[in-house]
Amino acid sequence: MAQVEDELSLVFQALADPTRRAIISRLRGGPTTVGELAEPFSMSRPAISQHLKVLERAGLIERTADAQWRRCTLRTEPLDDASAWVDRHRDEWNERFDLLDERLRRLKDSAN
């Protein structure tokens, strides 16, 4: 279980940054060169490379070299795993909020 949580931590950490989320959004259209990914951002290539390393370490992208082109491809499996984790816990969180709601309603009713 610790391995899964560690992988999830890497995914959530990668997704915490808006630049990395924007890169992932751009990759939804298919494999893209590093240069194309860097175009809309006002940051250096080394900075983009650092973002790509974080995404790659989290398993969210795969980088390949094709002649002089370096391409990035989105890998959705880690996103699916993160989504499944959130879904599993969402029911528990909602149940706890419902219990809290009920408790607050009872406290309010007893105060009147």
Write the CATH number for 74. 1.10.10.10
Among 73, 34, 76, 31, which Cα is nearest to 51's? 34
**What's the domain count of the chain?**
1
The answer to whether residue 55 scores a pLDDT higher than 80 is yes
Look at the block and give the residue holding tokens 């630049």: 19
Give the C-alpha separation, 51 to 17, whole Å.
Answer: 9
The answer to whether residue 57 scores a pLDDT higher than 80 is yes
Residue 26 domain boundaries: 2-111
Q: Where are the alpha helices (DSSP H) in 16-76?
A: 18-27, 34-38, 45-57
Give the C-alpha separation, 47 to 52, whole Å.
Answer: 9
The answer to whether residue 5 scores a pLDDT higher than 60 is no
Mean pLDDT for 19-30 is 96
Are 78 and 59 within 8 A, CB to CB? yes
The answer to whether residue 32 scores a pLDDT higher than 70 is yes
pTM: 0.77
